[in-house]
Amino acid sequence: MSTTYSSLQQVLHEDPVFGQLSFDGHEQIIFCNDKDTGLKAIIGIHNTVLGPALGGTRMWNYENEWAALNDVLRLSRGMTYKSAITGLNLGGGKAVIIGDAKTQKTPELMRKFGEFVHSLSGKYITAEDVGMATEDMDTVREVTPYVTGISQDKGGAGNPSPITAYGVFMGMKAAAKFKYGSDILEDKRIYVEGIGNVGENLVEYLTQEGADVVIADLNQDRLEQVRDKYGATIYGGDDLYGEQMDIYAPCALGATINDSTIHRIQADIIAGAANNQLANEQKHGAELMKRGIVYAPDFLINAGGIINVYAELEGYDRSEIMRKTENIFTTTVEILNRAKENNVTTYQAAFEIAKARIDARRSELAAI
Ligand code: NAD
């Protein structure tokens, strides 16, 4: 037994959970297992200083459990800083369900997952992410109140993706203003990678503004639908990152800016919805800065969805949601300018502001 464990350690070079590279002082990590429904999930609670940890549930056919754990650790951490920089009184959390959302997601599995969420008594509040739909959150709502993103006819704010897309559009415009002196995206060549819930809505905003939009996705049917609906061009090449473009909008999964892609990227601006776009925030953030590519930090510009679900908790109306989401433009311009003035990466500039807010609240709480 000990031989097996130590050889496993040699392979991994790290302790199983707290020693993971992505572990960042997370408060709690919950492994959920249910034999009857086949549920295997991990809930990551990164930080609850500003409030309950709110973040969506992703269902994905992970290559292995390490990949799932790594994802939930990175995603929950990102949520902490996203809510902090957006001025919401929420902490950061996220959940992943291991499996194929198309074939393995059942109402029983979702209800069982909801029971695990409920057992945390509100410390973690869930919502939808990749592989989840509003109806799935409605199912979770049957067993716990600690869920957002439920249908409007059930008292929720509905699918957050259109609002997320609007926020990304605002962040992209802000980056254009910073780079080109104008926020007008007409005629800009923009590659949208991933045209799911958020990507499609983003394509709608961009084509309405007259941008030259190129779309890429693994799903061919979807590509054709979105092309026909908005007049976008389907990408036909085999090196998207190396293509000449003005703006690259990553809207699929994270870490597409990594050691193998970063040197090929030709864009002036990177602004998209995907969480954790930089495989390594420090290293790849610095590389983009060196190459003069403006990176609009993902956790800053994709906050529309969290604003939308937060509205469910606070009772905001639609106009307040849109106002707060529109504000992403101003915050992004401020952060990009601040990064330039202080000669730091845009990721670092955004991160420092978010962290300062959490530290201030932590001091307040300690003084009580
Ligand atoms: P989605 O599942 O609806 O869409 C993802 C799309 O990406 C799918 O069409 C999928 O086929 C495609 N895709 C997956 N891998 C790909 C690849 N290698 N190349 C090209 N396409 C690929 O998800 P979504 O809700 O649109 O979210 C997209 C991203 O935005 C995710 O990273 C998510 O975490 C992030 N995000 C979403 C929200 C939201 O409100 N939905 C909020 C904040 C962040």
Containing domain of residue 255, as a range?
Answer: 162-355
178 with 322, same domain: the answer is yes
CB-based contact 118:131 (threshold 8 Å): no
Q: Is residue 367 part of a domain?
A: no
Mark whether 170 and 290 lie in a shared domain.
yes
Whether residues 189 and 231 share a domain: the answer is yes
Q: Which of 40, 82, 94, 123 is catalytic?
A: 94
Same domain (yes/no): 325, 189: yes
CATH number of the structural domain spanning residue 64: 3.40.50.10860
Ligand 1 mean position, distance from CA 153 (Å): 25
pLDDT at 268: 98
Residues annotated within the binding site are 194-199
Give yes or no: residues 203 and 106 share one domain.
no
Together in a domain, 185 and 333: yes
316 pLDDT tier (thresholds 50, 70, 90):
confident
Residue nearest to atom 4 of ligand 1 (CA): 196
pLDDT at 3 over 50: no
Q: Which residues carry a binding-site annotation for NAD(+)? A: 194-199
Confidence category of residue 23, pLDDT binned at 50, 70, 90: confident
Q: Which of 135, 155, 175 is the C-terminal boundary of a domain?
A: 155
Listed residues 155, 175, 198: the one ending a domain: 155
Q: Taking phi first (over 0 means left), then psi (-120 to 50 degrees means alpha), and beta for anything else, what does residue 13 get?
A: left
Query: 218 and 346 in one domain?
Result: yes
Average pLDDT score over residue span 147-156: 90
The b/e string for 244-279 (b: 16+ C-beta within 10 A; e otherwise) is ebbbbbbbbbbbbbeeebbeebebbbbbbbbbbbbb
Whole-number Å distance between alpha carbons of 339 and 1: 51
Residues 199 and 343 in one domain: yes
Query: What's the structural domain count of the chain?
Result: 2
- Judgement on whether residues 277 and 167 belong to the same structural domain of the protein: yes
More confident residue, 28 or 10: 28
Give yes or no for residue 20 having a pLDDT over 80. no
- Domain end among 101, 122, 155: 155
**Ligand 1 atom closest to Cα of residue 198:** 26
Predicted pLDDT at 12: 58
- The pairing of strands 91-98 and 233-234 is unpaired
User: Which of 43-47, 247-251, 305-309, 331-335 is least confident?
Assistant: 305-309
112 plus 239 within the same structural domain = no
48 — phi, psi (to 5°)? Answer: -125, 25
Asked if residue 9 belongs to a domain, the reply is no
Assess if residue 121 is contained within a domain: yes
Å from CA of 8 to ligand 1 middle:
33
What is the DSSP pairing of strand 57-60 with strand 28-34?
unpaired
* Average predicted confidence (pLDDT) for the chain: 94
Q: Is 177 a catalytic residue?
A: no
